[in-house]
Amino acid sequence: MRLGTLSLGLRFWLAALTILLLFPGVVAAAPAGTVVGLNGECFVESGGARSPLKLGQAVQVSDTVDVPASGKLKLRMSDGSVISVAAGSRMTISTYGVNAAGQRENAHLALGQGLLRAVVAPGDRPGSFEVDTAVGAAAVRSTDWFVEVSGGAMQVGVLTGSVDMSSRATGRRITIPAHWGARLEAGRDPVPPRTWSQAEFDAVIARTNVQ
Amino acid sequence: MGGFAKRHRAGTLGVVAALFAACLIAHDGLAYTAAGDRLFPATGILPQISPGDEFYTWGGTTPLAGGGAGARNRTSNFGAVWDKMITERLGIQVEDAWNRLDRRGATALNGFQNFETELKYLAIDDQLHEFLLTLGLNREWGGTGARRIGAARSGAFEPRLYFGKGLGDLDIGYWRPLAVTGQAGYQIGDTTTRPDLVTAGAVLEYSIPYLQSKVQSFDLPEIVRAMTPLTEVALTTPAGRSFGARTTVMVAPGVSYAGPGWEFLVEALLPATRATGALAGVRAQLHLSLDFLFPDTIGRPLFSER
């Protein structure tokens, strides 16, 4: 069969397939989220380029957002989850997959340093939203919580729902319920959780509150 | 009697004033059931050192030294405590216990002890130094228990001071998981026929969860990772006229095992004075953290922004 005899529809699909094979980044370019709140100047590092973020701008998988000491950032992700990033934080969107219904299938964020608050929309399976740090990981299904990385340790505080925090070094895992929090230091088991006072929650809420 | 009543009123007013003053001077701590990363496990023969949303129950038995027919040869005790937070720092506790006294060649005696309540206020919670200080006011409600098992007809007030101090802030290597907690009180009887008592207690504990999470993580067996070996010492001694009361000292070495939202404690009961007893007993306790298991319902303080 000569190419000239191909139907229009078949030509279109062949062209689409060629583009997919040659430029796979086009597929991954579906936005993982959108900037819905911004205080001060925040940046995104994408494909080796660093540029200032603007309200309404899309962020993609593999982007790193850099929130300097004078800034705060709020993102609405493609599954409806809202992530507030405090000043002095650096976070990479490692993966963020949603299905056709807009439900999250798999989300991984990497928090290099700083504090973020995640109001996580319900996913279709447990642990589908995970924040990785140098010392451990915290996984949730649907909750409102905080994770902070500082000085070789991470800590998690949970407002609603529950969070599983695990140590990268020992593999030990704890579950942190609502109103509780826990720390994890590098190379060790997680510290058993304890209740957090309202003052402690107020402090992290204030740090992640984007006007 | 008039002098006693006057003394009693003055004492009670003093306690209330002290609690009020503590409320005024308390600084804004950041946690209220633990001092930073230091979690103090539930104690057995001594009261808990801070208010909380918790429920615990225990059973214990101690053989008593012989004697003739009808002499008591074993005492067993089963009890329960429910602790409820009113605010983030103020809690109330209710406690009751059931006793059984076995007798040689005679039927056993049994019945409830006097009902007890206690208000506790967490005055200091220093996360950095793993230190907390709690003020308590215990009330034993006289005549609510069975006299046949020794429950007093008259009640008593007991202002108490509790503390907990972890050694994790000190540069002492593998000794950092050590912690000391303690309690001191003065029990004031409602009537002149009930002796006033000085009560005191201390606990020395070594937290393996703290070792694993704050000092060094060893490849320990699962069961060991959650253990905290501890030893409690409880003392009572009469103050002023004793009315036959004598000094008692009980030493209770044991092990606490913690799971998510619960703790199990088993201890030996070793009497250290003749008035306390002569033979060793055993005690076991199950402690449930309601604020962990039911954080949005019965585990919440009654008045809290949380």
CA nearest to B269, candidates B248, B246, B250 = B250
Tell me which residue in B30, B216, B258 faces A197 most closely, judged by beta carbons: B30
- CB atoms B295 and A169 under 8 Å: no
CA dihedral (B214, B218, B219, B223) positive or negative:
negative
The pLDDT of residue A8 is 57
DSSP string, A83-110: EEE-TTEEEEEEEEEE-TTS-EEEEEEE
Q: Which residues contact A45 (CB under 8 A, 6 or more apart)?
A: A63, A64, A65, A66
Give Cα separations from A207 to A57, A146, A211, B306 (angstroms).
22, 11, 11, 18
**What is the C-alpha separation between B30 and B127, in angstroms, rounded?**
7
- CB atoms A195 and B291 under 8 Å: yes
A-chain CB neighbours of B88 within 8 Å are 197-198
CATH number of the domain at A32-208, out of 1.20.1080.10, 3.40.309.10, 3.40.190.10, 2.60.120.1440? 2.60.120.1440
**What is the C-alpha separation between A51 and A34, in angstroms, rounded?**
15
Mean pLDDT by 10 residues, chain A (211 residues): 54 55 47 94 94 96 96 95 96 91 88 96 76 95 90 94 94 93 95 91 94 77
The residue of chain B with its CA nearest to that of A178 is: B295
**What is the C-alpha separation between A201 and B247, in angstroms, rounded?**
47
ipTM of the complex: 0.79
CATH number of the domain at B2-41+49-293, out of 3.10.450.50, 2.60.40.1260, 3.50.50.60, 2.40.160.40? 2.40.160.40
Q: Which residues contact B83 (CB under 8 A, 6 or more apart)?
A: B48, B51, B52, B53, B54, B55, B91, B92, B93, B120
What is the residue extent of each domain of chain B?
A: 2-41+49-293
**What is the C-alpha separation between B137 and B116, in angstroms, rounded?**
11
Q: Answer yes or no: are the C-beta atoms of B46 and B232 closer than 8 Å.
A: yes
Tens digit of pLDDT for each residue in A71-124?
A: 999 999 999 999 999 999 999 999 998 888 878 888 999 999 999 999 998 876
The pLDDT of residue A1 is 43
The pLDDT of residue B86 is 96
Tens digit of pLDDT for each residue in B239-278?
A: 988 788 899 999 999 999 999 999 999 999 999 998 888 8
First to last CA, chain B: 48
A-chain CB neighbours of B214 within 8 Å are 185, 188, 191
A-chain CB neighbours of B295 within 8 Å are 177-180
- CB atoms A189 and B217 under 8 Å: yes
- CB atoms B295 and A183 under 8 Å: no
Q: What is the DSSP letter of B212?
A: I
- CB atoms B292 and A193 under 8 Å: yes
The pLDDT of residue B20 is 38
Tens-level pLDDT at each residue, chain B (306 residues): 344 444 444 454 454 444 434 433 333 333 345 788 999 999 999 999 999 999 999 999 999 887 788 888 899 999 999 999 999 999 999 999 999 999 998 999 999 999 999 999 999 999 999 999 999 999 999 999 999 999 999 999 999 999 999 999 999 999 999 999 999 999 999 998 899 999 999 999 999 999 999 999 999 998 999 999 999 999 999 998 878 889 999 999 999 999 999 999 999 999 999 888 889 999 999 999 999 999 889 999 999 766
CA nearest to A112, candidates A145, A148, A83 = A148
- CB atoms B213 and A188 under 8 Å: yes
What is the residue extent of each domain of chain A?
A: 1-30, 32-208
Instruction: Give the number of A-B residue pairs with CB atoms closer than 8 Å.
Output: 76
